Structure 1
Amino acid sequence: MANIKKGSEEAVASGAEVLEKFEKESRTRNFDAKSLVKIVYVLCFLFTVYHLAYASGVRFMQMVNIKHHAIHVGLVLVLGFAMYPAFKKSSRTRIAWYDWACIALSACMPVYVFARYNVFISTGFQPSVLDIVVGSILILLVLECSRRISGPALSILSLIFIIYGIFGRYFPGVFMHRGYTWERVVQCLTIGTEGIYGSTVKVSATYIVLFIIFGEVMNKCGMGKFFNDIANSLAGSTKGGPAKVAVLASGFLGSINGSAVANVVTTGTFTIPLMKKTGYSKEFAGAVEATASVGGQLLPPIMGAAAFVMAETLGVQYPVIIKAAVIPALIYYLGIIIQVQLRASRDNLVGIPKDQLPKAGQVMREQGHLLIPIVFLLYMLIFSGKTVIVSAFWTIAVTIVVAQLRPISRMSLKDICDAFVAGAKSTISVAIACACVGIIVGVCGLTGFALNVASTIISIGQSSIFLTLIFTMITCMILGMGLPSIPAYLITATIAAPALIQLGVPDIAAHMFCFYFAMFANLTPPVALASFAAAGLSGGSPMKTGVVSVKLALAGFIVPYMFVYNQQLMLDNVTLFTGIQVVITACVGVFLIAVAAEGFLFTKVNWIFRVAAFVAALLMIDSGIVTDAVGLALFAAVLAYQYLKSKRHSTPAAV
């Protein structure tokens, strides 16, 4: 038992090192002074309490959006400058004088908004000289804090957009605009609700923070262990069982926590060694964990809070997003599971002996009560008529109560406080990224840049939906590199989605298409953070792991095209019969993609039949009767040939 505990501790320590290496947001200070530790702890706790109080609907906590957003951004900036050093060589045990200056300025920002709000209203948000000075400082603070936490990419991109807003008259072609003064740009970005205090911070200050807190509370009461245990009990003993366990556990957990890299580290520290022990290669083991972790953000009901952000952005109800997302997400995971099964069959990999695995009944008896908060959340969101914010607040409260029902999940007061603090710390990176994205969104609104990009993408695609989808996919993957999932979606939804919508793609399909490929930027080299983190745990080559991850997620790269061409896959205006037909053809298509990728079905598949399988899968994208018939015919041919071939190889030669 001591050895198991020691091994578990070593795995967790290794995971923490990998997380810090590949997720810049984890490189926080470790203060020497106990007073600083306590101050940051208290600030994080108060950050969470404030947002919970605001979400509860208590009358005295209600305020206009810009004030709430200003408090949210101010607290995030204060904590960001306190926790994150300016440079790699900066001290990680104390706060430098310039950090204290940034903290003081950050704390003044919400105070200034409160003090000037009535003046803003009375003057129609016309800025004074002081407003421009304070607004300029706010922009610099957001850019610098984002650089420290998320790296330079997003800050540089935001700075480029600011330059574009000022010097637009010097840009060529469709990107040229009349240009705006620095004062007008600052007014747009810092006064009112169009820029930093706009829609991107709204989703951070309302939805994202609450669901991150919910995820941390669930994690503290043992939800990660529950997902791992139930996945082991269901799939651990099957052929290639540890890989299937990784897929199931990472998918469940990823839907809640919303961070692909953190999800890789949380589940991968245990699943990757088991996969390697079973016989999977280092790269394949890492790739399975990476693809499953990224896919968690595509999986309802929570989708890492993306479901609620998308609902807010599109102005639709939450159930609409869930209905649209569920089949594509399940098909994505089906593709991974099939490839795992085919690889295990090809290499004769066995599962874990049943006597070494937990029993499903016992797991449900001891930990099954942890499903109650998720069921309660779905009830609140779909049937109660309550807002997402109120539903999230009461779900967090129910989670804390339900956790006390069994000793295995029971939390002390300190555990609850620690979960609140962890929630605040996890929110900082996403919130500051949303504030920085607000700069991009604000400039796009001021200059019409998004419409210009849409026109350019359409013109390059020559008004062809397929070519426009290709260019949109590339744009989304570039913009999504190295960003948290929600900010990546917000940027791509602002810049790339309008191109698809202009060509007649339904809004929800266009936004979901952009979201999928913004997520897949975590898998695809050269900036494949989830794949590289998984390689850090498996000991495999980061680039090879990224390549294998793309191969494993191949179905996921095709699924967005399937639901753009066939909205019935998103259960939009579909009958039961048609829905079943669409799902069956999609599943057959995913199966064929897996066969083409792995080169195995009963026995080794030669390159001719691999190409045939892939062509048949592509034919399933369009739901037409002719294409489905041809695709199914090719599927039958590949299946029959491979089956007969395997029988011939297994038949002993006559004497």
Structure 2
Amino acid sequence: MSEKDKNQRRESDQFEASAVEMEAAGHGGLSQEEIDALVASSDTGARTPPGAVGKLILITALCWSLFQLWIASPIPFMVGFGVLNDTETRSIHLAFAIFLAFMAYPAERTPFQLVLGVSIPILMTILFMIGSKTGVPVWWMPIAGLAVVAAILLGSPKIRVPPWEWALALVSAAAALYIYFFYDSISTRIGAPIMQDYVVAVVGILVLLEATRRSLGPALMIVATVFLAYTFLGPYMPGIIAHKGNSLAEVVNHQWITTEGVFGIALGVSTSFVFLFVLFGALLDKAGAGNYFIQVAFSLMGHMRGGPAKAAVVSSAMTGLISGSSIANVVTTGTFTIPLMKKVGFSSEKAGAVEVASSVNGQIMPPVMGAAAFLMVEYVGIPYFDVVKHAFVPATISYIALVYIVHLEAMKANMQGLPRAYVPGPLIRRLIGFLFGIVAIGILAFLLKFTMGWIRPTFGASAIFVVFALLTVAYVALLFVASREEPLELDDPNEPVTELPMPGPTVRSGLHFLLPIVVLVWALMVDRLSPGLSAFWATAFMIFILLTQRPLMVMLRGVDRTGNSTTISALRSGLDDLVDGLISGARNMIGIGIATATAGIIVGAVSQTGVGSALADVVEVLSGGNLMLILLLTAVLSLILGMGLPTTANYIVVSALLAPVIVTLGQQNGLIVPLIAVHLFVFYFGIMADVTPPVGLASFAAAAVSGGDPIRTGVIAFFYSLRTAALPFLFIFNTDLLLINVDWIHGIFVFVTATIAMLLFAAGTQGWFIVRNRIWESALLLLIAFAIFRPGFFMNYIYPPYEDLPATQFEQALADSPPGSPLRLRVAGLNDVGDPIEFTALISVPQGADGAERLAALGVETVQTGDDVVIDNVAFDSPGQAAGLDWDQKILLVRAPAPAPSKYWIYIPVALLLAGLVWLQRRRADPNEGQPRGKEKGLSHA
């Protein structure tokens, strides 16, 4: 036996012994039934009564999925039947969601929930009566409010649906469908609601808030109620946030009858895009892809130090590609990964924290991003492809850094990985194989693009059938490859693991699951189809796979993955999988549909009251105009507002409230921030609320699985997620991280340097690099990481990037600056409400023979009086107007680009500092503490 084989055998024996000793630390938390109940209560509804009522819930969920597939497909336009406009589809979408919310989610009976559930309808009824200033009869409002209160007090059994909940479900669905059935008559009386509109809107808002409490908990319900109260009670608010107050007629018209509130953009995105992506993920998981992702991650990474934790990060990233829920991601992958992490030495809290940090990050991973990507398309007004491009680098860097954090934790505890079932070949052979795989993927991508470029012009309208035929051939070929391997089984995490699955067979056993993802990404990124249509085609192909993979596997292997040995039984099982997937997808959407509708109340209140500008004033007063304090306050407010809210809802809330704050105050303080960077900033801190104690829902879910303390789990997960918290500040000041105005060569350079910087940041915050850090070493690592992230910060002190010129030299500065270079103007003027402000306008120097010609190209005319330069006119839709310039503004200062060396020269002293730190820590490395030289140490071997 060779020395390598002896080491391999010794490692296996050692692990078996430790596995037996730590068997008691396996699951440690809830049973599988309790975990399933946890997912159901948080994501799909915990009530499926026996008998006809339970079947009705399932049939309703199935009909919802079929409806969404119908409106997303091109079939209604082809047959000329069932074509609905956006408002009508939103109405039906909310009717399904709110009906299922009352049927599937029993209300909690805790004292706090009862008090809250009773007090909110009473409070809202009083507010509606106060707002009835236009002679609207109010006698019926207390009846409506007391009816909701009575339904809450009568109770909500978990095994049946009582009559009063049937009434709530049917009334709420009717209120949601009101716009659909009375669309034509409502369109003729916008702004002048009739008695019927009042009744439907008041009842609809009351039952929507109660549905929110049931399906999402109290947080979003409370926030929406506060904003509704603010809408009515504006005159009684403190001066800085006071407004005139709105009547019931205005609120009814804004919140329910038009598409400004409940039926606004957020619900529209849920209807058009989000449902199909959630359905796609549910079908993919039902086909077996979720288990495949976990097994592949473990086969590739389980042998490393802390291997199960690294595999948890990778599998959560892959699950996050298609998942819209942090909690579902935690429980789906954590059920398997958390016990294995505990077996190799992670504590219950650390195992749960790793799963939380990686699962929550699934929400920042393109292409789905917890549905926020599609909301950004609407709110920011840029193509979906650009959203994904901007979000890709920070998300990828964050995951790489989390893998490195896990590696550092394993180094601290001298953990070992799981034993492998094979002895890897020589390093050169493996490297050649890896490079060959990259080349093969590149060639395949090139051939695919070439083929598609040839098929479309050749076959015209029939190209879709040719593409489907080619996909089918690829699918059958990959399924044939999978049939040569043993079917993947999800191992019991409580059993001792003696060896890892072999990577090759594991990867080959499910390659066909990647085809629908390829279809989705291709349609989104290459064909540039709409997100809804892209998701439809990917889902349609996923349905085809669900119906055919079992029968084909029986033909190829003789049996499918669950033991069916005949084509008929396999086809029946595939049909059952499809129906289950359609039902699961719809039930997963209940909370998201309710969340987007209720978040619409908040968005509507913001637009109706102008609280956004008032909030900007509050933040400016608290920060004293300091830009970093502004960002910190915004981050804290995002965390607070995001607590207890699902990803989609908290992004809607924080973007509506806080994104304009950063843009406005940043511009006033000389920082020109692209709108997409601002939205990503508030989104990152919104999802951090899923981690942050004391309300971090994902932390509580992970603790339920691990058996650890949820608060400690949340605290550790928060420190693991500091890299995610640091990234938003970095890309606000260095938009290169978002690949804004960056070519592909510069983009690769930014990705490499930013990844190194984030790994050094992780080493600094975790207190371990090659060996345990001294305090000054951690501080130095953080300084080096900052310098790599923002090389211009230090260079700007040495060589100022701008030269300050008096306003009278504006025209000369235009003439002297090369076309396309940035020119900044410090401008004094009035804001939208007539208050004096100062801000910085960013101008790209246009083409022109001289300064006067370039000024005309900007669409700007100026008048000079002594040393004062005033803008006399700005042409409509001109570059000057786009920069924020307007007539009667005064130019205070011109900041022209100054010649300076490249900011990247700072990397030379930074590299020397890092080399010195590496040398010092290598000298201090102690082999007796599990730090053998040259093996898996620190940054270079992560």
Which TM-score applies when normalising by structure 1?
A: 0.94
1:491 matched residue in structure 2: 653
Q: Shift of residue 470 of structure 1?
A: 0.6
Matches within 5 A, 1:193-204: 193-204=259-270
SS at match of 2:708: coil
Asked whether the equivalents of residues 586 and 620 of structure 1 are also in contact (C-alpha less than 8 Å), the reply is yes
1:578 paired with 2:746, answer: yes
| Aligned CA distance change for structure 1 residues 251 and 111 (closer, same or farther; 3 Å) | closer
Q: Assess, with a 3 A threshold, how the Cα gap between structure 1 residues 550 and 633 changes in structure 2: closer, same or farther.
A: farther
More strand by percentage: 2
1:544: which partner in 2? 712
- Report the equivalent of 2:54: 37
Check the 8 A contact 2:603/2:653 in 1, yes or no: yes
**CA deviation after TM superposition for structure 1 residue 268, in Å:** 0.6
Structure 1 gap ranges (5+): 1-6
In the TM superposition, 1:99-498 aligns within 5 A as 99-355=165-421, 356-403=499-546, 404-405=548-549, 406=553, 407-408=560-561, 412-498=574-660
User: 1:65 is matched by which residue type in structure 2?
Assistant: D
Deviates more, 1:456-465 or 1:420-429: 456-465
Call closer, same or farther: CA 1:259–1:630 in 2, change over 3 Å. farther
Distance 1:365 1:621 in 2: 39
**CA deviations over 1:584-616 (Å, ceiling 9, x no partner):** 332222122222232222222222212222232
Cα shift at 1:352: 1.1
Q: Is the 8 A contact 2:29 2:707 kept in 1?
A: no
CA shift in 2, pair 1:528/1:22, >3 Å: farther
Distance 2:596 2:35 in 1: 25
1:641 aligns with 2:920: yes
Pick one of 504, 523, 528 that aligns with 2:691: 523
Rg larger in 1 or in 2? 2
Partner of 2:71 in structure 1? 54
- 1:79 and 1:418, CA in 2 relative to 1: closer, same or farther beyond 3 A? same
Query: What does residue 790 of structure 2 align with?
Result: 622
Question: Which amino acid is 1:44 matched to?
Answer: A
The letter of the residue matching 1:511 is H
CA contact (8 A) 1:20 1:27 kept: no
CA offset at residue 90 of structure 1? 2.8
Give, in angstroms, the shift of residue 638 of structure 1: 2.2
| Corresponding residue of 1:587 | 755
Q: Secondary structure at the match of 2:322?
A: helix
Larger fraction in helix: 1
CA contact (8 A) 1:12 1:269 kept: no
8 Å contact from structure 1 (residues 220, 415) kept in 2: yes
Amino acid in structure 1 at the alignment position of 2:304: T
| Structure 2 residue aligned with 1:509 | 677
Structure-2 residue corresponding to 1:78: 99
Give the SS at the match of 1:196.
Answer: coil
What is the SS of the residue equivalent to 2:418?
Answer: coil
CA distance in 2, matches of 1:117, 1:303: 33
In structure 2, do the counterparts of structure 1 residues 53 and 124 end up closer, same or farther at CA, with 3 Å as the change threshold?
Answer: same
> Is the contact made by 2:47 and 2:106 (CA closer than 8 Å) also made in structure 1?
no
Task: Give secondary structure in 1 for the equivalent of 2:501.
Answer: coil
In the alignment, the residues of structure 2 paired with residue 631 and residue 555 of structure 1 have an alpha-carbon distance, to the nearest angstrom, of 20
Residues 15 and 265, structure 1, Cα contact 8 Å, conserved in 2: no
Task: Report the Cα distance in structure 1 between the residues aligned to 2:41 and 2:238, rounded to whole angstroms.
Answer: 36
SS of the equivalent of 1:289 reads: helix
- Alignment length, in residue pairs? 645
- Does 509-518 or 624-633 show the bigger shift? 624-633
Distance 1:543 1:11, change over 3 A: closer
1: distance between equivalents of 2:70 and 2:652?
A: 26
Distance 1:575 1:420 in 2: 42
Could you tell me whether the CA contact under 8 Å between 2:45 and 2:101 is conserved in 1? Answer: no
Amino acid at match of 2:319: L
Is the Cα–Cα contact under 8 Å of residues 29 and 705 in structure 2 kept in the other structure?
A: no
Q: CA deviation at 1:188?
A: 0.7
Q: Deviations over 1:495-554 (max 9, x none)?
A: 011111222311100000111111111111111111221122112221111111111112
Instruction: Tell me which moved more, 408-417 or 184-193.
Output: 408-417
Change in CA separation of 1:634 and 1:528 when aligned onto 2, cut-off 3 Å:
farther
Question: How far apart are residue 322 of structure 1 and its match?
Answer: 1.0
8 Å CA contact 2:29, 2:703 repeated in 1:
no
Contact kept, 8 Å, 1:372 with 1:402, in 2: the verdict is no
- Tell me, yes or no, if the aligned pair for 2:767 and 2:773 is still in contact at 8 Å: yes
Output one character per residue of 1:192-233: Cα deviation in whole Å (capped at 9) or x when no partner: 100111111111111111111111000100111111111012
Task: Report the CA distance shift for 1:578/1:319 in structure 2 as closer, same or farther (over 3 A).
Answer: same
Contact 1:158–1:439 (CA under 8 A) maintained in structure 2: yes
Tell me how large the CA RMSD over aligned residues is: 2.4
- In structure 1, C-alpha distance between the alignment counterparts of 2:264 and 2:46, rounded to whole Å: 30
Per-residue displacement from partner, 1:36-81 (whole Å, max 9, x unpaired)? Answer: 1111111110011011101113232221222111111111111111
Residue in structure 1 matching 2:108, options 62, 71, 87: 87
Deviation, 1:32, is 4.5
Q: Are residues 631 and 132 of structure 1, via their aligned partners in 2, closer, same or farther at CA, if it must alter by over 3 Å?
A: farther
State how far apart, in whole Å, the 2-side matches of 1:575 and 1:472 are.
Answer: 31
SS in 1 for 2:164: helix
> Retained in 2: the 8 A contact 1:251–1:292?
yes
- Counterpart residue number, 1:66: 87
Indicate the larger mover: 320-329 or 408-417: 408-417
- 1:435-490 Cα shifts (integer Å, max 9, x gaps): 11111111111011122212322343333332211111111111111111111111
Q: More deviation in 277-286 or 582-591?
A: 582-591
C-alpha spacing 1:372/1:26, structure 2 compared with 1 (3 Å)? closer
Share of identical aligned residues, percent?
A: 35
Per-residue CA deviation, residues 370-390 of structure 1 (Å, 9 max, x unaligned), is 001111101111222422111
**Residues 105 and 241 from structure 1, CA distance in 2 versus in 1: closer, same or farther, beyond 3 angstroms?**
same
Amino acid across the alignment from 1:136: V
Using the TM superposition, give the Cα deviation of residue 649 of structure 1 relative to its aligned residue in structure 2, in angstroms.
7.8
**Residues in 2 aligned to 1:354 and 1:609: alpha-carbon distance in whole angstroms:** 36
- Report which structure shows greater RCO (CA 8 Å, sep ≥6): 1
CA distance in 1, matches of 2:723, 2:48: 46
Alpha-carbon distance in structure 1 between the residues aligned to 2:56 and 2:40: 25
Which one-letter code corresponds to 2:212 in the other structure? S
Q: Is the 8 A contact 1:335 1:590 kept in 2?
A: yes
Partner of 1:599: 767
Counterpart contact for 2:267–2:597, Cα < 8 Å: yes
Distance 1:17 1:647, change over 3 A: closer
Distance 1:177 1:16 in 2: 51
- Supply the AA of the counterpart residue of 2:530: T
- Distance in structure 2 (CA, Å) of the matches to 1:648 and 1:642: 13
Shift of 1:302: 2.1
User: Aligned partners of 2:638, 2:910: CA distance in 1, in Å?
Assistant: 29
TM-score (norm 2): 0.66
Letter in 1 for 2:510: Q
The alpha-carbon deviation at position 156 of structure 1 amounts to 1.3
Quick one: structure 1 residues 532 and 627, their matched pair in 2 at CA, closer, same or farther if it must change by over 3 Å? farther
Inter-partner Cα distance in structure 2 for 1:382 and 1:207: 16
Larger displacement relative to structure 2 (589-598 or 389-398):
589-598
How far residue 633 of structure 1 moved from its aligned partner, in angstroms, is 4.2
What CA distance in whole angstroms lies between the structure 2 residues aligned with 1:628 and 1:470? 28
